[in-house]
């Protein structure tokens, strides 16, 4: 996987980072 090309990597046990990435994807389909 390449971060930002084929997917997004978030640090384990970091719900804030996961939430931020989900919001980014929703805002930038």
pLDDT in tens, 9-22: 999 999 999 999 99
- How large a percentage of the chain has pLDDT more than 70? 100
C-alpha span between 27 and 12 (Å, rounded): 23
- Looking at the predicted structure, is the pLDDT value of residue 29 above 90? no
User: With 90 as the cut, is the pLDDT of residue 5 above it?
Assistant: no
With vertex at residue 3, the alpha carbon angle to CA 19 and CA 1, rounded to the nearest 5 degrees, is 115
- The full set of domain ranges for the chain reads 1-29
Alpha helices in the chain (DSSP H): 15-27
- Rounded Cα–Cα distance for residues 8 and 22 (Å): 10
């Amino acid at each position: 996987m390449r971060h930002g090309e084929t997917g997004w990597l978030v640090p384990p046990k970091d719900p804030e980072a996961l939430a931020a990435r989900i919001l980014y994807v929703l805002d930038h389909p």
